[in-house]
Chain A
Amino acid sequence: MTVPNPSPSGPWPMIQRLGVSGLLVRFGDQFCEAANRAALAFRAGVEAAPLPGIIETAPSLVSVFLRVDPLPADLDVLEAELCDLLARADWYAAPLPPGRRLIRIPTAYGADMAPDLVEAAEAAGLSEAEAVAQLSTARLRVLSLGFGPGQPYLGELPEHWNLPRRTELTPHVPAGALVLAIRQCVLFSRPSPTGWRHVGQTAFLNFRPESAEPFALKPGDELQFPTADPDHVAHMIADPDCVDGGAEIEALP
Chain B
Amino acid sequence: MTAPALIVHQVGPGVTVQDLGRPGHLAYGLSQGGALDRLALYEGAALLGQSPDCAALEMIGMGGEFEATQALRIALTGAPMQASLDGSPLIWNASHQLPAGSRLRIGGVIAGSVGYLHLGGGIETPPLLGARATQLNAGLGALLTPGARLPVGPDKAGPIGLGLDVADRVSGGVLRILPSVQTALFDAETRKRLEQSQFTRDPRSNRMALRLIPDGQGFALDGGLSVVSEVIVPGDIQITGDGVPVILMAECQTMGGYPRIATVLPADLPRAAQLPVGATLRLQFITPEEGVAALKAEQAALADLPRKVRPLIRDPRDIPDLLSYHLSDGAITGREEETDR
Contacts and interface: CB of A to CB of B under 8 A. Distances in A.
A84 interface: no
Nearest to B253: A147
Contact of B285 (A1, A17, A151): A1
Contacts of A28: 228
A70 B295 contact: yes
A7 B179 CA distance: 10
B316 to A, nearest CB: 46
B11 interface: no
Interface of B is mostly: mixed
A24 interface: yes
A19 B180 contact: yes
Given A20-B265, A20-B266, A60 B230 contact: yes
Interface stretch (B18-26, B58-66, B109-117, B159-167): B18-26
Contacts of B139: 149, 190, 207, 209
A18 interface: yes
Contact of B27 (A1, A57, A62): A57
A146 B185 CA distance: 24
Contacts of A18: 178-181, 233, 236, 263
Contacts of A3: 188, 191-192, 195, 285
Contacts of A144: 229, 255
B291 A19 contact: yes
Contacts of A150: 28-30
A57 B138 CA distance: 20
Interface in A30-81: 30-31, 43, 55-63, 65, 67, 70-71, 75
A1 B285 CA distance: 7
A126 to B, nearest CB: 27
Most central of A26, A59, A214 by chain B CB within 10 Å: A214
Nearest to B26: A58
A50 B323 CA distance: 66
B26 A20 contact: no
B176 to A, nearest CB: 10
A210 interface: yes
Contacts of A60: 229-231, 255
A219 interface: yes
Contact of A17 (B227, B288, B299): B288
Nearest to B182: A8
Nearest to B138: A149
Contacts of A65: 26, 230-231, 233
B270 to A, nearest CB: 16
B292 A71 contact: yes
A146 B180 CA distance: 19
B312 interface: no
A36 to B, nearest CB: 10
B285 A149 contact: no
Contacts of B191: 3
Contacts of B236: 18-19
Interface string B227-251: 1111101011000000000000000
A223 interface: no
Interface in A148-207: 148-151, 189-190, 207
Given A148-B138, A190-B139, A20 B231 contact: no
B100 interface: no
A19 B263 contact: yes
Given A17-B179, A29-B228, A147 B254 contact: yes
Interface in B121-149: 128-129, 137-140
A70 B292 contact: yes
A63 B231 contact: yes
B183 interface: yes
A127 interface: no
B287 interface: yes
A248 B23 CA distance: 30
Interface in B282-310: 284-288, 291-292, 294-296, 299
Nearest to A65: B231
B184 interface: yes
A21 interface: yes
B184 A5 contact: yes
Nearest to B185: A8
7 contacts: A6-B183, A18-B179, A18-B181, A19-B263, A63-B230, A145-B29, A215-B28
The 4 A-B pairs at the shortest CB distance, nearest first, are namely A146-B255, A65-B231, A58-B26, A20-B291
Given A30-B228, A57-B27, A148-B138, 4 more contacts: A3-B195, A4-B287, A29-B228, A65-B231
